[in-house]
Chains A and B, each alone.
Chain A
Amino acid sequence: MAYDGYEPDLPTAGIPFTIKILIAGGFGAGKTTLVSSVSEIRPLRTEELLSERGEAVDSLSGVEQKSTTTVAMDFGRITIRDDLVVYLFGTPGQQRFWFMWDELAYGALGAVVMADTRRLADCFPSVDYFERNDMPFVVAVNCFDGIRRYPLESVRRALDLTTDSPVVLCDARRRESSRDVLVTLAEHALLRNSRSREVMPAG
């Protein structure tokens, strides 16, 4: 294999295994709330050039100059064991940051798509993205106070999911509820993993 600047697999024991989970969904759907309630949340900024990769999706037409833009990301850590750590990354919600998604999604265990039934369409782009990339995801319908709850089945129908991705209710403010969403995602990823092993030879 060509040297790409990375070292091969780490040979030694005691190296932490890091797991990435994305938290996606529309603006105000509860991404930050979920990351805060279930993990040790930490500041993370990324200052990126809106350049080649950005141009295709960025509608700053007529702006020829490359410019940097600062994006604050939700970033949280859950230490399961000394050698097993789960990292949560909130995906930037605005369309101009689509170019960051592929990088965020690389190697991820899967994603939670936060949905607000008042603005369900806001989460469609996230659902599309994860379906297109064949990534395990869970739709978490965030129940805000006083918001009428729709039956999950009608939410699932409205989302027109093409996969068997779970749709669950949650209250992102509650740690246990947010935790359950992550457990559902991990179990779903495990199920998909075992299924893919049945149909595909390893390798």
Chain B
Amino acid sequence: MRPYALTGGRTRPTGETVDLLALVCAVRGSSLDRSQLEPEQLIVLGRCRVPTPAADLASDLDLPLGVVRILLSDLRERGLVTIHRPAPVGLTDPKILKDVADGLRRI
């Protein structure tokens, strides 16, 4: 199947581009008409009970990122997920950078 069949042929998501590492969170208690969603979107909602980066979702679903972005932006428009842009680390808390350096040393 052509992956863009899942998106009704659309090749661009609505709204801001979803960052590769944007954390996707399912919205609890939202009213959900399952019949209006693609099976892949239902899988996304299941996975995103725990906040999950968009790139992980694309890898898990074995779908191209471009397709996953469109599925996610649809879910966002329906109020079923929130999407959180990760904070740039370059100028962030040095403690995080130190934790990364120390953590990598231990792997």
Contact = CB atoms under 8 A, between A and B. Distances in A.
Interface of A: 4-7, 9-10, 15-20, 38, 42-49, 68, 70, 75, 77-78, 80-81, 84, 86-87, 89, 103-104, 106-110, 135-136, 179, 182-183, 186-187, 189-190, 193-194, 196-197
Contacts of A9: 84, 87
Given A6-B16, A7-B84, A78 B65 contact: no
A47 B100 contact: no
Contact of A48 (B66, B98, B107): B66
Given A6-B84, A81-B103, 13 more contacts: A10-B51, A18-B21, A19-B96, A19-B100, A20-B89, A44-B65, A68-B66, A75-B55, A77-B56, A80-B106, A109-B100, A183-B101, A189-B97
Interface string B9-30: 0011001110111110000000
Interface string B77-99: 00000111111111110101111
Contacts of A5: 15-16, 73, 76, 83
A45 B65 CA distance: 6
Interface of B: 3-4, 11-12, 15-17, 19-23, 51, 53, 55-56, 58-59, 62-67, 73, 76, 82-92, 94, 96-101, 103-107
B101 A187 contact: yes
Contact of B3 (A47, A75, A136): A47
